[in-house]
Structure 1
Amino acid sequence: MGITSAWAISAHRDAVISELAPRVLPLIAAEREEPAAQERWSRWCHSPLPDHRTWYCKSAQDSALAEAVASFRRLTCGGEHIQRLYDGISCEDEFHVVDNVWERDESPEQMFLAIQSKDYALASFFHAIGPERAALIPGWCGNFLLTAFQVRDTLPDIERALSFTPEELAAAEDQDWLHYLPDDESVLTGPLRQWRRAAQAGLGLCGVNLLIH
């Protein structure tokens, strides 16, 4: 059975960020505080994965590599806590991330949105930039909720994480295995554009990485 995932970074006024905070921040904290998630993060930071084209080669009978890839995939596929923003927080709660976050403001088309079939955009993004750059991104594994002040405050770190020399960009693009349509934004360019746009406009940001089908 196939899956479809989404990693979205949407911009909102601080009033909306404040409204979302009681729902979103506890879910992100719960994801981050999972001991298994911390172990997967530590494992990846200490032993970044090799070229993605080696992961599933039939000639590579390396069980340690297979375990490391599985751990990284689990780290970046979105967790059960944040998934509740799509599946529903409770039976009585009518909140839904599509209606109440992605489509609620005046220009939803301005957000960064990466939808992938049978894959997770965040996995390719993290692998392409590596753990040192990924550690500069606030929140947890693509999930964050930031006020306008926090967006401006974190922009220098995001600039460091997602600014590349030509050689660095070529290496990152080589490890980004996603296939893009002509109008799609790359995971290597879209998040930085969205961060800069929000900082300039005085808006906050909501990042969500989850399964949509």
Structure 2
Amino acid sequence: MGFTSAWSISSHSDSVVAELAPRLAPALEADRTDPAARSRWAAWQRAPLPDHRTWYTDRAYDEAVDSFQALTRPGEHVDDLCNGISDPGFHVMEDLWDPEPDAADMFVSVHRKEYAVAALFHAIGPARAALLPGWCGNVLLTAAEVRLTLPDVERALTFTPAERARVTGRDWLDYGARDEHVTDGPLRVWRNAAAAGRGICTVALHVQ
């Protein structure tokens, strides 16, 4: 079955973050505290997966791969919210994307039959992924929280040339000539938001 997914990172004023919080915060927390998701996270932290090009040649990894893919798909509660299922009054386009037309304030990674968060997490590994705030690509932060978390995001997404080569090799997403890589866009938006005194909202979802 085909699907299209999106990972959206957008920066907003604190007033917009406050308006989003009553809807997004409960969905974020529900996905973060789901026992099955926490178990999958712990399993990946204990035993990072090898290079993805070996996954389907060595069947010993099947269970771990399935667990990782379930972990890094859009969380059920955030996905339902973003698609108007749990709250018909909330729409990603109108409430997150349209209000921020400046490309400097956004990173959106859209892929057919792939998940940007999964590719990023596999590329950087569990230790770096654990430095990213929120839960599996989803977070809502005020401007003060953006500044506070920026050092960890920089540690997670800043690479030496040798690290960059390894990370690029583990990112399986296809990019067009003008597409920003999933290892680059998040840090750009975080830095811009911190410099501008803005908050951040990130959501992973299926595009209906």
Q: Sort the TM-score into its range (normalised by shorter chain).
A: over 0.9
Q: Which residue matches 2:12? A: 12
1:73 aligns with 2:69: yes
- Please give the alpha-carbon distance, in whole angstroms, between the structure 1 residues aligned to 2:97 and 2:24: 13
- Distance in 2 between residues matched to 1:212 and 1:131, nearest whole Å: 26
Please list every run of at least 4 consecutive aligned residues from structure 1 whose deviation after the TM superposition is greater than 3 angstroms: none
How many residues align? The count is: 208
Query: What residue ranges of structure 1 are gaps of 5+ in the alignment?
Result: none
Measure the CA separation in 2 of the matches of 1:167 and 1:145.
Answer: 32
| 1:121 to partner: Cα distance | 0.6
Letter in 2 for 1:145: L
Show the counterpart of 1:190.
Answer: 185
Matches within 5 A, 1:1-213: 1-57=1-57, 60-62=58-60, 65-90=61-86, 93-107=88-102, 110-213=105-208
2: CA distance, partners of 1:206 / 1:212: 17
Tell me whether 96-105 or 72-81 shows the greater mean CA deviation.
Answer: 96-105
Q: For residue 166 of structure 2, give the secondary structure of its aligned residue in structure 1.
A: helix
What whole-Å deviation, never above 9, does each CA across 1:63-122 have from its counterpart, x for those lacking one?
A: xx100000000000012100122221546x321112111112342674101001001010
Partners of 1:10 and 1:108 within 8 A in 2: no
Asked if the contact 2:72–2:115 (Cα under 8 Å) also holds between the matched residues in 1, the reply is yes
Deviations 1:1-26 (A, max 9, x none): 21000001001010000000111111
Query: Does the CA contact (< 8 Å) of 2:104 and 2:192 recur in 1?
Result: no
Give me the identity figure in percent.
55
Change (3 A) 1:108 1:26: farther
Listed one character per residue, the Cα deviations across residues 25-62 of structure 1 (whole Å, up to 9, x for unaligned) are 111100011000000000000000001001112xx232
**Secondary structure of the structure 2 residue equivalent to 1:105:** coil
Matched to 2:19, the amino acid is E
| TM-score in terms of structure 1 length | 0.94
The AA in structure 2 aligned to 1:100 is: D
The SS at the match of 1:70 is: helix
2: CA distance, partners of 1:165 / 1:24: 35
TM-score by length of 2: 0.96
* Structure 2 runs not aligned, ≥5 long: none
CA root-mean-square deviation: 1.3
